[in-house]
Amino acid sequence: MKRSLLALFITLFALALSTSAFANSVSLTFESVHQDHYYFSINGSSSFSTMMCDSFDNRISYGETWTATKSPFLAGIATSLFGPTMALDYKAAGLIYKSMITGSLTTLQAQWAIWGLFSTNAQHSSGFLTYGGAATDATYLTLAQTAPNSAYSGLVLYTPLNGKPGCGPQEFIGYSPVPEPGSLTLLGTGLIGLAGVIRRKFVKA
């Protein structure tokens, strides 16, 4: 019985390692803003990461550190700052951010459009009008209705722990290259095979 449980445990562990879709807690420190990009240290790293804010009505200050849940973008919507009822807006925000990364939108166009998706205060700000936030939002809300899940590949959502709209640190969208599916599958398959070898060894013992 113990041998079967050990083999089961190793198999489940292997499956967990072969998947990158799990959320985890990270420590974010707001370091600076340069050329309209927010720069953060994640878990004390000296290599800063750039992100884009989606929560206009929340506030952070330079040097502030807080705990956030880091999730693959689509999976993170369920526990996001604004909740799953805003799923279409989140999807539009993700597509806007991707367009900014590829150069189709400027940083300020993308930032004001994303803020406007989640805040009426942002919609009434001069920046939203100056950078065409309403038109951008309308375009990407339409695109989000039919965009495949693959369109959000690599996007990450950083949701502040216990945060609420207008209360607590801001929520951010980031980007992290996705490991090749083949590599993850190979890792998982190898570990599962190892579990089988260990189980057979126990059986022979």
- Residue-wise pLDDT for 24-41, tens only, equals 999 999 999 887 789 999
β-partners of residue 66 are 28
- Residue-wise pLDDT for 60-116, tens only, equals 999 999 999 999 999 999 999 999 999 999 999 999 999 999 999 999 999 999 999
More confident residue, 205 or 66: 66
- Residue-wise pLDDT for 38-54, tens only, equals 999 999 999 999 999 99
Strand pairing of 49-53 and 65-72? Answer: unpaired
Lowest mean pLDDT among 89-103, 126-140, 171-185: 171-185
8 A C-beta contact, residue 20 and residue 3: no
CA distance 127 to 178: 33
CA distance 115 to 95: 14
CA atoms within 13 A on the CB side of 40: 27
The alpha carbons of the chain give a radius of gyration, in whole angstroms, of 21
Residue for token digits 């339409």? 142
Mean pLDDT in the chain? 84
Residue 12 has pLDDT above 90, yes or no: no
Residue 121 has pLDDT above 80, yes or no: yes
Mean pLDDT score, 161-166: 94
pLDDT value of position 205: 52
**Distance from the first to the final alpha carbon of the chain:** 14
Residue 152 has pLDDT above 50, yes or no: yes
pLDDT value of position 23: 78
CA distance 88 to 71: 17
Residue for token digits 């967990």? 16
Residue 8 has pLDDT above 80, yes or no: no
8 A C-beta contact, residue 154 and residue 178: yes
What is the sign, positive or negative, of the torsion defined by CA atoms of 126, 129, 134, 140? negative
CA distance 102 to 47: 22
β-partners of residue 164 are 167
CA distance 5 to 8: 5
